[in-house]
Structure 1
Amino acid sequence: MIRSMTGFASGKGAFGPHSWTWELRSVNGKGLDMRLRVPDWLTGLEAALRSQISKALNRGNVTLSLKLSRDETAPDLALNETAMAAALTALARTQEMAAASGVTLAPSTAADLIAIKGMLDAGSEVDDPAPLVEQLTKEFAPLLAAFVDMRQTEGKALADILDGQLTQVSQLTEQAADLAEQRKDKTAEALRENLARVLDNAQGADPDRVAQELALIAVKSDITEEIDRLKAHVVAARDLLSQDAAVGRKLDFLMQEFNREANTLCSKAQSADLTSVGLELKAVIDQMREQVQNVE
């Protein structure tokens, strides 16, 4: 069953002091274009998410947004002892240099030292984001699965619409074939009359040559091949709709072939009724092309 390129999924999660919200959405695209907005400090997360998306999807402009927050109401703070030792050493050396220059410095407090950037670590996740990255990667899988399910549901609805339009094309093709069959006798009579008129009014004209030219005109107005190709295209399109694969590009190419045959049929019509059917065909085919633009 075909899949739509339009989809949306969202989710929430938490791990330790962190909580987050996901938003995954996609629209039409010629290929697979991924735009991910995730925190830079979560090393390796973006690559892991891109890998999952590329395995699950083939086409579409995909946007993923991850909003991450940390609960600071009861922070798990830890002293960075290495940084504190370095700060104390630097402070002692500064006091020595100041005393040697006759400068008296105000005493430093513990609060002054703790306020230095990097002196306190808010939990082990900051030191090592790997556990959080692992959890986020794990929880993204069901979100992506829900997203794919939605695209499949949209694809089923899209397939139903396209199937109905193909039925219209098939019916109009049969109408065109019937009208072409009905005009055969009238066309043959017109050609005979034209041939007699030319021979009566053209001295020295070669009857065989004139007959060949009129026969060529008859061949050029024959739409049998166009009818046969339209019928074949309907069969091919329905076959593509039944496949469990990314067939959007193939369907798009097939729509071009549909349109080409409808244009040729209109140019050969030579009757108001057949022209009307050809224009209806073109309208339905154009509607199909719009729908196919959303097929993965």
Structure 2
Amino acid sequence: MRQSMTGFASLQGSGAGFDWTWELRGVNGKGLDLRLRVPDWIEGLEAAVRTRAGKAIGRGNVQISLKLQAGEEAQTVAVDPVQLRGMLNAMAEVETEAMAMGVTLAPSRAGDILGLRGVLASGAADVDHKALLAALMASFDAALEAFREMRIAEGDKLNEILTRQVDEIETLTAQASDAARSRAGAQAERMKAQLARVMDNTDGVDEARIAQELALIAVKADITEEIDRLGAHVTAARDLMQTKGPIGRKLDFLMQEFNREANTLCSKSGDAALTQVGLALKTVIDQMREQVQNVE
């Protein structure tokens, strides 16, 4: 097992006249769901991000966002001619009216006019989209690697938890086998009583039906197959956890098989001690299944 589906990474960068921040957030999901928030005016950016993320991430709901702004060196300042003419006309009208009323105004300076709202317009210089795209993708690769490393670290923690839980299931399975052997005497007496009830009601009953009933009694009492399958599932779980790549779906299916055997064992137990072991098994299996939901 290599990765959890939960993770986070944030990386700041700058280049080609821009400053930016990449953020990647991941939670569990049934498949791979990439949700991107990147500027659409940078041609090829979204497709490149989606392709590279898809190769590095096998499963999970992942949000990728890019906050991008022009750096100071990329900012340009220019006079808005329309706003300037409008402002000068307004000033001339004010001065004319003031003179008519005998009011003397101080001379206007260029700096005063430039400071008026709207006269100066700021914007970004011409952008080299190819250079910007290359810089952004190089930065994204680093952010993606940091995201993977966090998912791997979380996966290592999950692996430790799941390993302990598999060991506990193996121990409880052995206890169930011991409890089944311990109940053998009482179970034999119970089967004799059940057999006697069948034999007491055999008048006019087909022999094949009697054999069927006897076989059913024996099957209901025997948990050998359940014990064997639980042991096989333990081995399969350990093998899966040593496999590279996404294994979450396979582990989740295996948890269903674990649960099925534990349920059957409880239904067949007919013994308080064995029932307690079966319930303990179900508890550990449920806890393990909760953890498996986060495995990629």
TM-score calculated relative to the size of structure 2? 0.79
Q: Which residue is equivalent to 2:125?
A: 123
Q: 1:200 to 1:265 in 2, by over 3 A?
A: closer
Residue 287 of structure 2 corresponds to 287
Residues 177-196 of structure 1: pairs in structure 2 closer than 5 A: 177-196=177-196
Match of 1:219 in 2: 219
Measure how far apart 1:69 and its partner are.
1.3
Change over 3 Å in CA distance of 1:11–1:198 after alignment to 2: closer
> Which aligned runs of 4 or more in structure 1 are off by greater than 6 angstroms?
200-209
Check conservation: 1:199, 1:205, Cα contact below 8 A. no
The answer to whether the 8 A contact 1:172-1:277 is kept is yes
Bigger Cα displacement from structure 2, 30-39 vs 206-215: 206-215
2:125 partner amino acid? G
Deviation of residue 153 (structure 1)? 0.6
2:239 alignment partner in structure 1: 239
- Is the 8 Å Cα contact of residues 70 and 124 (structure 2) preserved in structure 1? no
In structure 2, do the counterparts of structure 1 residues 71 and 198 end up closer, same or farther at CA, with 3 Å as the change threshold? closer
Instruction: Give, in whole Å, the separation in 2 of the partners of 1:226 and 1:148.
Output: 39
**Could you tell me which residue of structure 1 aligns to residue 139 of structure 2?**
139
Match of 2:5 in 1: 5
Looking at structure 1, the residues matched to 222 and 184 of structure 2 have their Cα atoms a distance apart, in angstroms, of 9
The structural deviation recorded for 1:124 is: 2.8
* C-alpha deviation, 1:74, in angstroms: 7.2
Matched-pair contact (CA < 8 Å) for 2:33–2:61? yes
| Aligned twin of 1:93 | none
Q: How many residues align?
A: 260
Deviates further, 231-240 or 195-204: 195-204
User: Which residue in the other structure is 1:258 paired with?
Assistant: 258
Conservation of the 8 A alpha-carbon contact between 1:170 and 1:231: yes
Deviations 1:235-287 (A, max 9, x none): 00011101111100000100000011111111101111111111111111001
Q: How does 1:72-87 map to 2 (within 5 A)?
A: 72=72, 75-76=75-76
How far the C-alpha of 1:135 sits from its partner, in A, is: 0.6
The answer to whether the 8 A contact 2:7-2:150 is kept is yes
Letter in 2 for 1:293: Q
Determine the C-alpha separation between the residues in 1 that align with 2:237 and 2:77: 63
In structure 2, the residue matched to 1:104 is none
Partners of 1:198 and 1:53 in 2: CA distance: 66
* Alignment check: 8 A CA contact 1:10 1:23 kept: yes
Deviates more, 1:252-261 or 1:180-189: 180-189
Deviation at 1:200, TM superposition (A): 6.6
Distance 2:201 2:183 in 1: 27
Identity among equivalent pairs (%): 58
Residue identity matched to 2:257? E
> Gaps (5+ residues) in structure 1?
85-110
Shift of 1:201: 8.3
Report the alpha carbon displacement of residue 2 of structure 1 after superposing the two structures with TM. Answer: 2.6
C-alpha distance in 2 between matches for 1:274 and 1:229: 17
Cα shift at 1:57: 0.5
- Please say if residues 226 and 261 of structure 2, whose CA atoms lie closer than 8 Å, have aligned partners that are also in contact: yes
Aligned to 2:30: 30
Alignment match, 1:53:
53
TM-score normalised by length of structure 1: 0.79
- SS in structure 2 opposite 1:124? coil
Instruction: Give me the CA root mean square deviation.
Output: 2.8
Q: 1:210 to 1:191 in 2, by over 3 A?
A: farther
Correspondence for 2:96: none
1:150 corresponds to: 150
* Alignment partner, residue 100 of structure 2: none
Residue identity in the other structure for 1:123: A
Is the CA contact (8 Å cut-off) linking 2:16 and 2:135 kept in structure 1?
A: no
Shift of 1:40: 1.4
